[in-house]
Structure 1
Amino acid sequence: MKGRIHSIETCGAVDGPGLRYIVFTQGCPLRCKYCHNPDTWKLQDGNEADTEELITDILKYKSFMKASNGGVTVSGGEPFLQADFVRDLFIKCKENGLHTTIDTSGYVDIENADPVLDYTDLVLLDIKSYNQNIYKNLTGVPLDRTLALAKHLEKRGIPIWIRYVLVPNLTDNEEDIEALATFLETLTNVERIDILPFHKMGEYKWEQLGYEYELTDTIEPNIDATNKAADIFRKHHLPII
């Protein structure tokens, strides 16, 4: 099975448990204002990859992944845009006893996601905001599919790690974080919540691509702001990192 990928990281340590072989797929329906990889947006860009070639390369690192309880993560872009490609890769991973993780915005149709989820051990779910208006302004798409996927993953018993990017004056509103925590508290499959402080390391890519970067004047959140957000999740007895 062939697909289009942006890049590969062979020893990642932040995209799931243990050491990970990470495949970044090409193509994304979201247009997040803080995206640090806008060069992944267009599906026709990137490089063609074959799952047979990928699994051959992946298996070179199997001993490292096994020793660290790691595995393979497919990120993006949005991996579910190439669901057949990801499914085929994950089937090959499971045939070789490898843990599988998918990192997604959740902006997918459930029926499109399910064939991939049949071979998925963990989902990293990026919830950009719980405020419908802010989410749409921030990403260009509505929030409902992401929340529906979170509930569906609970029904399927697939664990999730929540990723929340803290952006000053955009996603740091305490009421919105409180609402998100209240929602997550209703789910039984949330294993971890990561608060990711906003950064501008990808701003130069926007300039190179000729895109307007709207967050140039936005400062990175300080430790007090990050701790305040973390305390809200802790108050709801959620596993905050």
Structure 2
Amino acid sequence: MSVIGSVHSVESFGTLDGPGLRYVVFLQGCSLRCRYCHNPDTWNLNGGNLSDSEDLVQEILGYRNFIAKGGVTISGGEPLKQPQFALALLKRLKQEGLHTALDTAGSVPLELSKPVLDAADLILLDIKSLDDKLCFSLTGMGNANTLSTLAYCQSIGKKVWLRHVLVPGWTLDEQRLEELAAFLTAFSCIEQIELLPYHRMGQYKWEQLKLHYSFKDVPEPTAKQLRMARSVFEAQGLKVLMTNLGEEKENKVG
């Protein structure tokens, strides 16, 4: 059955949102207000373009030959803000034999998100901070729903790629990173840790929307800081993928 949803944009040949070459659908709407968000234009649930889920699936299938060894990623915004639409897309794409990933911050309560998490082949889960107070300061919300999402993925054996943004003076702190790395070792569902260096490439969108960008004076991470962050997770035996300046550099420990 078709479901109507709001789509912000699509990327037909994505390489940074899951394994292989992927078609990425960015859904509209997000409850978080991350200080470093590079897509604040996705926040408003009433924005974007209305789309019929079946029509969108048919559009995606036009790229099947290109994404056959990759798949489709449902991203946002926060795709779990539109759970019925996301679920309709995931189910149809699975019927077509395509690999699916859900890119989420897990900020939606499990009673709404479980069916969507169940339907996806892979969850790209963004943990803003293990410290609830710091998470609230960064995003306007605590981390309870995110951690519940990770625990649920562990309980059902759902594959997870864990994402974490490295912000100097905030999350890019050796002690905080050590605490996060140690915490994550308990989750066998996590296949890799993706460390994302903070950048200001979306600042102009804030200005266009007449929003105050409070991180304008926050520097981007240095190479030394990024090496430190990576080594913290590798020391715990975790597989690390770090994206820096558009280049992916992968290293597997063990």
Q: Normalising to structure 1: TM-score of the pair?
A: 0.97
Which residue type is aligned with residue 88 of structure 2? D
Which residue type is aligned with residue 101 of structure 1? A
| Residue equivalent to 2:248 | none
Pairwise CA distance, 1:133: 1.5
Which residue type is aligned with residue 118 of structure 1? D
**Partners of 1:98 and 1:27 in 2: CA distance:** 25
Matches within 5 A, 1:14-53: 14-53=16-55
**Partners of 1:135 and 1:117 in 2: CA distance:** 22
| Residue equivalent to 2:212 | 212
**Partners of 1:118 and 1:169 in 2: CA distance:** 36
Structure 1 moving runs of 4+ over 6 Å? none
**Partners of 2:144 and 2:138 in 1: CA distance:** 14
Pairwise CA distance, 1:129: 1.3
**Higher relative helix content:** 1
**Partners of 1:134 and 1:212 in 2: CA distance:** 19
| Residue equivalent to 1:8 | 10
- Are residue 167 (structure 1) and residue 167 (structure 2) matched? yes
**Partners of 1:162 and 1:117 in 2: CA distance:** 14
Which residue type is aligned with residue 214 of structure 1? S
Which residue type is aligned with residue 152 of structure 2? H
Pairwise CA distance, 1:110: 1.2
| 1:116-174 deviations in Å (ceiling 9; x for gaps) | 12321000000111122211100000111111110110111111001111111111111
Secondary structure of 1:118's counterpart equals helix
**Partners of 1:117 and 1:163 in 2: CA distance:** 16
| 1:29-67 deviations in Å (ceiling 9; x for gaps) | 00000000000001001110111111111111111111x
**Partners of 2:28 and 2:14 in 1: CA distance:** 18
| Residue equivalent to 1:226 | 226
Secondary structure of 1:80's counterpart equals helix
Q: Unaligned stretches of 5+ in structure 2?
A: 242-254
| 1:65-103 deviations in Å (ceiling 9; x for gaps) | 11xx21110000000010000100111101100111000
Matches within 5 A, 1:55-204: 55-66=57-68, 69-204=69-204
Q: Unaligned stretches of 5+ in structure 1?
A: none
Aligned pairs, number? 239
Which residue type is aligned with residue 42 of structure 1? N
